[in-house]
Amino acid sequence: MLLKLTFFLGILLARLWGPGEASSIQYRFSEELKTWKLSESLRLLKEEEPMVSPQPVTILAFGDIMLDRYVRTLMDRNGLDYPFLQFPELKSKMLAQLDDPESKQPPLEALDFLFANLEGPISDTPYVNNGIAMIFNFKPDVIPPLQKYRFNLLSVANNHMFDMGEYGSTQTRQHLADSGIHHFGYSKGVQAESFWTTTLDDKATTLSFIGFNDTLTDRLDLPQAVELIQSVEDKSDFTIISIHWGREYFAEPTEEQIKMAHAFIDAGADIILGHHSHVIGTSEWYKERPIYYSLGNFVFDQYFQKEVMEGLGLAIELTKSSDPAKPNTIEVHETVFDILKSQPQVRH
């Protein structure tokens, strides 16, 4: 059809303007027609591409993991897997809360992120804790157990991450990166390393994770933190804050924590996960966004009172709305668990 149209156009133009100019006009018309057909084909092909509808993003979140001191002694005696031997049962119980009876996908495969706060550096520094010191240094051999039990997202923003100096902090990031464990957060102020943004193509959802430290080792600059949240919020469907803060062994947040948490939500954060106090803290929903002031311990060697021997786990489901006029949804299931001999486990 294209050839016939071009041929008859050539005859008509030759009679009107002569053979030379007619040939030039005929060529331009032919090329423009080809371009139009190509662009139209691409448009139709794009329209036929299936659109991925948003699917729920699932996260299990826990508090502090400390793999030195007496926990290290227990690992040396009983094997590197020791802290996590009871964890599969707890994990299965929490995953069941996210299970959709109509889904054909096994719950374990439905989990997108298994998150905790890594309470210390992973380095080859020769320092060895004497069993009571408050300075931590995790050996690189803790990486395989973290991988085995599928921890794939860790915050490295806390008051112990620089226990082995800048070298230890840098080594930690390198070890985690080499092992395929995503990490985010910075312990000294707001830096480029403070956040990590990722898009889950199969869920059609973009998330940003931001890690802050607001303890005696480094006080957080709130205006800078708010500015960072605002800068990533525009690029994300959900913004999750992990923050190390508060008073140790107190469940209630300070006025400053409440002010800070509300400022984070006002800036665009969708959920706040706090830790550092070693006990389960209170929680609230502010502007339809959850704030957990402390998830408590997860793996630790504290045994002096009941409150430090329990933790709070969260099964989180984040669903982006397919209708821009409707809000995204956040669903959180809480599970209190025991920590017996430094092993997190189901409370029976």
The amino acid present at 348, given as its one-letter code, is H
| Spans of the chain below 70 pLDDT | 1-50, 101-109
Whole-number Å distance between alpha carbons of 29 and 27: 5
The answer to whether 345 touches 83, Cβ cutoff 8 Å, is no
Contacts (Cβ under 8 Å, ≥6 apart) of 216:
159
In this structure, what token pair is assigned to residue 283? 């929680």
Whether 297 and 218 map to the same domain: the answer is: yes
Query: 301 — phi, psi (to 5°)?
Result: -110, 40
Whether 28 and 99 map to the same domain: the answer is: no
Determine the pLDDT at residue 178.
98
Give pLDDT tens digits for 247-301: 999 999 999 999 999 999 999 999 999 999 999 999 999 999 999 999 999 999 9
Whether 44 and 184 map to the same domain: the answer is: no
Q: Which residue has the tokens 């969708």?
A: 270
Closest CA to 155 of 117, 193, 121, 189: 117
Domain containing residue 72: 57-345
Q: Which residue has the tokens 């995204």?
A: 328
Whole-number Å distance between alpha carbons of 178 and 194: 19
Query: 77 — phi, psi (to 5°)?
Result: -80, -40
Whether 40 and 176 map to the same domain: the answer is: no
CATH number of the domain enclosing 236:
3.60.21.10
The answer to whether 272 touches 239, Cβ cutoff 8 Å, is no
Closest CA to 98 of 64, 153, 55, 65: 55
Q: Strand pairing of 57-65 and 310-319?
A: antiparallel
Whether 31 and 105 map to the same domain: the answer is: no
Whole-number Å distance between alpha carbons of 28 and 280: 74
Q: Taking CA 275 as the corner, what is the angle to CA 273 and CA 280, rounded to the nearest 5 degrees?
A: 95
Give pLDDT tens digits for 197-206: 999 999 999 9
Whether 196 and 118 map to the same domain: the answer is: yes
Q: Strand pairing of 153-155 and 182-184?
A: parallel
The answer to whether 81 touches 74, Cβ cutoff 8 Å, is no
Whole-number Å distance between alpha carbons of 86 and 176: 23
CA 113 to mean position of chain CA atoms: 7
Determine the pLDDT at residue 52.
75
Whether 147 and 267 map to the same domain: the answer is: yes
Whether 178 and 33 map to the same domain: the answer is: no
pTM of the model: 0.85
Determine the pLDDT at residue 4.
47
The amino acid present at 194, given as its one-letter code, is S
The amino acid present at 275, given as its one-letter code, is H
Q: Cα Rg for the chain, rounded, in angstroms?
A: 28
Determine the pLDDT at residue 49.
52
Whether 119 and 194 map to the same domain: the answer is: yes
Whole-number Å distance between alpha carbons of 26 and 247: 81
Helix or strand (DSSP H, E) at 1:
none
Determine the pLDDT at residue 88.
97
Number of Cβ within 10 Å of residue 281's Cβ equals 25
Whole-number Å distance between alpha carbons of 9 and 22: 9
Whole-number Å distance between alpha carbons of 293 and 251: 8
Query: 324 — phi, psi (to 5°)?
Result: -55, -20
Determine the pLDDT at residue 258.
99
Whether 326 and 227 map to the same domain: the answer is: yes
Closest CA to 294 of 68, 24, 63: 63
Determine the pLDDT at residue 217.
87
Using DSSP, state whether 325 is helix, strand or coil.
coil
Whether 123 and 9 map to the same domain: the answer is: no
List b or e across 16-28, with b for residues whose CB sees 16 or more CB atoms inside 10 angstroms. Answer: eeeeeebeebbee
> What is the number of structural domains in the chain?
2
Number of H helices, E strands in the chain: 9, 14
Determine the pLDDT at residue 131.
85
Whether 67 and 44 map to the same domain: the answer is: no
